[in-house]
């Protein structure tokens, strides 16, 4: 599946749905972002059931501010409308695949229960 460009206008619609959304916060001038981009794209090609979204932090500063993005690239994982992972840094392919496995394996009832306490 191709990556989706996320903006302030479509972010909530995409992120609040059921399933997994991986978001790459990036900028054109960022070297590590450019190194991570092909890893993110390759993973998008392997996981058709996951939405892979990209937020250009230069074009969408309100989203960066909303989520407290202080360093890029930052990868955020959202499952069933809940942010379950967010970490800065250009991840190697094996680590990104591990994050995907862990997000898939989450017991979302347990995640929601813990979030309420």
DSSP secondary structure string for all residues of 37-51: HHHHHHHHHH-TTSE
- Whether 59 sits among the annotated catalytic residues: the reply is no
Distances (CA, A) of 94 to 90, 102, 106: 12, 12, 19
* Given 20, 21, 23, 30, the catalytic residue: 30
Q: Residue 22: pLDDT above 90? A: yes
Q: Residue 2: pLDDT above 80? A: no
- Whether 111 sits among the annotated catalytic residues: the reply is no
17: helix, coil or strand? Answer: coil
* Given 22, 33, 55, 69, the catalytic residue: 33
pTM: 0.93
Complete domains list, the chain, with CATH:
4-116 (3.40.30.10)
Q: Residue 117: pLDDT above 80? A: no
78-103 CB burial, b ≥16 within 10 A, e <16: bbeeeebeeeeebbeeeebbebbeeb
Q: What is the pLDDT of residues 62-114, one digit of tens each?
A: 999 999 999 999 999 999 999 999 999 999 999 999 999 999 999 989 888 88
* Contact between residue 41 and residue 98 where contact means Cβ atoms under 8 Å apart: no
Task: Please choose, from the candidates 75, 3, 74, the residue with its C-alpha nearest in 3D space to the C-alpha of residue 44.
Answer: 3
**Mean pLDDT in the chain?**
94
């Amino acid at each position: 599946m191709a990556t989706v460009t996320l903006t302030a206008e479509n972010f909530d619609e995409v992120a609040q749905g059921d399933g997994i959304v991986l978001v790459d916060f990036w900028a054109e001038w960022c070297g590590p972002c450019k190194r991570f981009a092909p890893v993110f794209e390759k993973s998008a090609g392997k996981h058709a059931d996951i939405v892979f979204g990209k937020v250009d932090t230069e074009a969408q500063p309100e989203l960066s501010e909303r989520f407290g993005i202080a360093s890029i690239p930052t990868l955020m994982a959202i499952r069933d409308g809940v942010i379950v992972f967010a970490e800065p840094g250009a991840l190697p392919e094996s680590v990104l695949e591990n994050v995907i496995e862990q997000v898939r394996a989450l017991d979302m009832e347990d995640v929601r229960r813990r979030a309420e306490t």
